Chain A
Amino acid sequence: MKDYDDKEILKLELKAVQIRKHIIEMLYRAKSGHPGGSLSAVDALVALYFVHMKHNPKKPDDPDRDRFILSKGHAAPALYAVLAESRYFNLNELESLREEGCMLQGHPACTEVPGVEASTGSLGHGLSFANGVALAGKLDKKNYQVYVMLGDGETDEGQVWEAVAVANHYKLDNITALIDRNYLQIDGNTEEVLKLESVRDRWSSFGWNVIEIDGHDIKKILKALDEAKAHKRQPTVIILYTTKGKGVSFMENNVDFHGVPPNEMERNIAIKELNLAEKKLETAQ
């Protein structure tokens, strides 16, 4: 299996910090949106878009592209920042997130934003959509892979389990589901709201190949993605153990920052912390 050069990983870690800075600025300007779940999803998105996935920002409709579907649509700022950094559209679009008449909708809209595969924001739909894309790929003898990211709380939805069954039934080995396992939803801890454990046993008893890793370790994420792609005759789920609000001290594991944007002071502190992290990585380079 392919190994990854530490220098390359450092670069990606830097990228992740920059994405986090975009997220904070976007949400601060928009005065609304979801910091916690956006920040926890960043490292997986960086691994997917800047290394693992086969995609071409100049040809967002390429029929052979790998697909990424953000089922937890409220993490749109993370997706938009990654798409902008990949040059699907201009970086300055990020400045008008959630504004009337602007491209970047509060939740992903596939009719509005190049690179957005599915319109999400109502939780629970993404894996079903991904199944359709994966089945079409098999039918057309295409080689593309389908990636879909779900929130852990999102897997409360019954529809997710209908989709889990379908992917198993059709042996959709071209699907990789990623669960952002940050243990928080809105009303509190996932285990107190509606018990999810054992997440591993649930998915594996539905016939899925299960990989569990630290969802902020980019090297491990890349290796897991390679492993998932190589795994045949079964869909794979990667359980990403993450921290909601990752990278900003006072947002980490803080359920209050699920859907509340930073105010000016909070934004300043967050940017300061992220700048510090950036410096550290730069000197390590």
Chain B
Amino acid sequence: MSKKEMLNPRKAYGEALIELGRKYKNLVVLDADLSKSTKTIMFAKKYPERFFEMGIAEANMMSCAAGFASCGKIPFASTFAVFATGRVYDQVRMDIAYSNANVKIFATHGGISVGKDGVSHQMLEDFALMRVLPNMTVMAPSDATQTKKIVHLMAEEYGPMYARVGRANAPLIYSNKDVEDLKIGKGLIVEDGSDITFITTGTMVEPALEAHKNLKNQGISAKVIDMHTIKPLDVQLILKSAKDTNAIITAEEHSIIGGLGAAVAETLMDNNICIKFFRMGIKDIFCESGSPADLLKKYELNEKYMVKKAQNLLKK
């Protein structure tokens, strides 16, 4: 078990919004009756005149954010990942992606680790939905420090962007110094290795780091990549890892269709690379209610399965 400090990425988002609100007078925040959960309430308290409560009306919120962007504002629109993507898809497609609007969609409660609320609240398709939209950047930060940095980059750089975090507290992986040079679209090698590469994102980075330690004890050297940006994907880093190690495992709290694993597979095929390969993720099914730990175990998304899959893949 990890003894790292546990911090909430949602809270890091709230803190980043306050810092950015000071820096950018044209930054506005919109929320759809979930400000206490998404932590935009922190911004709302500090800058009430630039916070807009939109009620439980997400589609309206997205188009409205695009209107703000057309007037030179930097709108951050927040709600749960299900409602920030699936509930509002056409609004995001037309008014944000097609219009190349400078809207930042920051979603919380992504993945199955939302837990007991069940399928209606477990978003496992958002990377896919957002990734197929031209102009859209797609990100999933892995801890509180990285979240804060990514929120800053979202405000600094132009363009439609989507980022999602989970609901739970996350073990702290990075110091402020570690993320100083972080760039959108550039993956990070968190642990280097020569036998196998874990390409992971969001909540799956930490279990991969645990798996790395465990495998090391068994004489297996695993590289762990934090692919915080799913689009644009860091193709060079993937190609290099395919050259340097004998197998690749991708891991994400998302369907194995259309997300990070699929994007890595496409990259490998496009470059005529044949390598031992496995996608960890949800296998084309709707999940269910349950505690986050129970669900991650049942759907084989923890470090134990990472170790097992790595052993199996290398044996083949």
**Chain A interface (Cβ within 8 Å of chain B)?**
30-33, 73, 98-102, 104-107, 109, 119-124, 153-154, 156-158, 185-187, 193-194
Determine whether the beta carbon of A98 is less than 8 Å from that of B289.
Answer: yes
Determine whether the beta carbon of B56 is less than 8 Å from that of A153.
Answer: yes
Q: A153-B55, A156-B55 are in contact. Are A187 and B120 (CB under 8 A)?
A: no
User: Roughly how many angstroms separate A180 CA and B56 CA in the complex, as a whole number?
Assistant: 15
B33 beta carbon closer than 8 Å to chain A: yes
Residues of B within 8 A of A32 (CB): 115-117
Nearest chain A residue, comparing its CB with the CB of B114: A106
Task: Find residues 278-298 in chain B having any chain A CB closer than 8 Å to their own CB.
Answer: 288-291, 294-295, 298
User: Shortest distance in angstroms between B121's beta carbon and chain A's nearest beta carbon?
Assistant: 7
B21 beta carbon closer than 8 Å to chain A: no
Residues of A within 8 A of B288 (CB): 100-101, 105
**Chain B interface (Cβ within 8 Å of chain A)?**
31, 33-37, 41, 53-57, 59-60, 82-83, 87, 115-121, 288-291, 294-295, 298
Determine whether the beta carbon of A157 is less than 8 Å from that of B56.
Answer: yes
Query: 3 tightest CB-CB pairs across the interface, nearest first?
Result: A121-B120, A100-B290, A194-B55
User: Shortest distance in angstroms between B78's beta carbon and chain A's nearest beta carbon?
Assistant: 12
Determine whether the beta carbon of A122 is less than 8 Å from that of B82.
Answer: yes
Determine whether the beta carbon of B116 is less than 8 Å from that of A106.
Answer: yes
User: Roughly how many angstroms separate A102 CA and B290 CA in the complex, as a whole number?
Assistant: 9
Residues of B within 8 A of A106 (CB): 116-118, 120-121, 289
User: Roughly how many angstroms separate A63 CA and B35 CA in the complex, as a whole number?
Assistant: 42
Q: A122-B87, A154-B56, A187-B33 are in contact. Are A98 and B118 (CB under 8 A)?
A: yes
Q: A122-B82, A156-B57, A194-B55 are in contact. Are A185 and B118 (CB under 8 A)?
A: no
User: Shortest distance in angstroms between A133's beta carbon and chain B's nearest beta carbon?
Assistant: 20
User: Roughly how many angstroms separate A153 CA and B36 CA in the complex, as a whole number?
Assistant: 16
Partner of A123, one of B56, B59, B291: B56
Determine whether the beta carbon of A109 is less than 8 Å from that of B118.
Answer: yes
User: Shortest distance in angstroms between B110's beta carbon and chain A's nearest beta carbon?
Assistant: 15
Partner of A105, one of B31, B87, B118: B118
User: Roughly how many angstroms separate A30 CA and B36 CA in the complex, as a whole number?
Assistant: 22
User: Roughly how many angstroms separate A31 CA and B290 CA in the complex, as a whole number?
Assistant: 11
Determine whether the beta carbon of A100 is less than 8 Å from that of B298.
Answer: yes
Residues of B within 8 A of A193 (CB): 33, 53, 55
Partner of A107, one of B115, B121, B290: B121
Partner of A194, one of B35, B54, B82: B54
User: Roughly how many angstroms separate A222 CA and B87 CA in the complex, as a whole number?
Assistant: 35
User: Roughly how many angstroms separate A124 CA and B56 CA in the complex, as a whole number?
Assistant: 9
Residues of A within 8 A of B116 (CB): 30-33, 98, 106
Residues of B within 8 A of A124 (CB): 56
Determine whether the beta carbon of B36 is less than 8 Å from that of A187.
Answer: yes
Determine whether the beta carbon of B35 is less than 8 Å from that of A187.
Answer: yes
